[in-house]
Structure 1
Amino acid sequence: MENLSIEVKLTKEPKVKPASDQLAFGTVFTDHMFTMDYTEGHGWHDPMIIPYEPITIDPAAIVFHYGQTVFEGLKAYVTEEDEVLLFRPEENMKRLNRSNERLCMPHFDEELALKGLRKLIQIDKDWIPKIEGTSLYIRPFIIATQPYLGVAPSKTYRFMIILSPVGAYYKEGINPVKIAVESEFVRAVKGGTGSAKTAGNYAGAMKAQEVAEAKGYSQVLWLDGKEHKYIEEVGAMNVFFKMDGKVVTPELNGSILEGITRKSVIELLRYWDIPVIERKISIDELYEAHQVGILEEAFGTGTAAVISPIGELSWNNANLTVNNGEIGALSKKIYDMMTGIQTGRLEDPFGWRMTVEL
């Protein structure tokens, strides 16, 4: 399958590109997209790059009724030398296949998908914004397309990649955000789909987000679904805490998404010889750490925002201010290093970057 040629059909009606300093997140899309189809018994076939356009799909398609869909998110950056860089894209394709496995969806050839992504970026390279804080957001996703109302895995699928020039994900930027500890809803449970990147996880999280935003918070801190005691994620991000000189993050347990930024931050901290521990962390432990003055920093990690510092946590009618509501020195150091590697401003000692040949 990796030897399949990718057909290219260029648009005859290029769009007007938005100004780089006016970009929001995920509201405009480039001229082209990558598509590939799967048919049971035939496998993946017909990889193409075509003009960005609406798709026609049967109303009975399984994706609409039983949520058989997975997705990824990554970014492309342009350097001062006009090189286009991707950050660990092979990790995204590996994770997409792991999500496929959990949702009973067929594996795809990761090299072919990366080939299609690189070709798509080559074609739409002029859409990559160049000012600081901007990037080209990349959304690969797969949907079940078979028209069938029986509860069973689809026999047909479509793989697509779309591109969107974006500004900062959070309007606060790198400034610390206020977070509410979620006391009613849960994001995922062990044995569920929390470790897969699938749409239902995000739909189920929206109510808690809505309630938190109405109260003036940027996001929620999720607790585990069984004991409602152990910290799992913050919003749609992994979460880290610096306590008494050590960095602690919840261990992967089957309900937490294995974030690529999370993985990179752990590797970076170990490279710096900063103690980092993956283990269970209870909300009571965090509260106690704050009370005795050893909760030094807290931050979320994810593709969209990279690092999102936490300045305040609200739990049980108590407001826990972290580092005087300011970004911590370690959070800033991680952010600067990560974005420096991603954008080509700094050396990449890990081999994380992939250059897109133009």
Structure 2
Amino acid sequence: MAKTNKGRFFEDYRVGEVIDHAVPRTVSGGERALYHMLYPARHALYSSDQFAQGCGLGAAPLDDMIAFHIIFGKTVPDISLNAVANLGYAEGRWHAPVWPGDTLRSQSEVIGVKENSNGKSGVVWVRTTGLNQREQTVLDYVRWGMVRKGDLDAAAPKTVIPDLAPALSASNLVVPQGLDFSDYDFGLAGETHRWDDYEIGERIDHVDGVTVEEAEHMMATRLWQNTAKVHFDTSARPDGSRLIYGGHVISMARALSFNGLANAQMVVGLNGGAHANPCLSGDTIRAWSEVLDKAETDAPGVGAIRLRLVATKGGAPFALKGDDGKYLPEVLLDLDYWALMPV
């Protein structure tokens, strides 16, 4: 009897199925140190207990993207081990900060399936929920990916495409309990720009670039326990290249956005996202942002700002799509998210 797991294929998914993912993980300050080693992350709220306490929190939480990567990584053996590509995200919300000592686990519900016309693969939609040791939801989001078929003769399932909101409304965002930016220290944060200083439609070139090396990508995917074959096994791709984990690009771009958005402290919503083109070892990631919306919150001194974050591997800043409406080949990531910022 085979004891190894070859992963699920497209024909193995059923709409309505709930999957409890294996191997809960207790996090510590080690994840913070490794995250700051892998990415040029400098947002003050995640770096300093003293700064976080000045903002009404008990201590510095772990970076929101650490929670995303860990919760995502738990799902890979069941959802995307045989994926061709991770295609997009929607309806993501951070419900509670993650603190050192928390234990995270993941659960996913299959909410959509659609076989591709070539009959060799299909798209699977799942809603993933990340829970802590108190069974509190830390994060939930929808993602969809293209998954290979294991049996090319398997009958196509009935197509179900979920109806997803194009964006979260500001009223649906969860502001962490106690967060208060009334006495925010702009000097320690690194920039003076506050919520009021940004205009809808404004674009920001984050200037800096970071070349992605294979070694750091391998460390990152192992850190998040992401077992997707395309990230580890070069024979899993026809050209023998190693595909850089899309979340690695997200974190790199978010960290680069510090230069110009240092006060966009907490990520609280993920409206949508697309990994427009593959990122490979040796590519140099740059980033720019566009302000899409702004909203007030009930928390003292806290405003919400909706941002488009674009990662590229070259080309002119602010170039996104060609005349044909398709992403330009140098665009790696197009991410739409909400963040919290002092007013």
TM-score (ref. length: structure 1): 0.26
Largest Rg, 1 or 2: 1
TM-score (ref. length: structure 2): 0.27
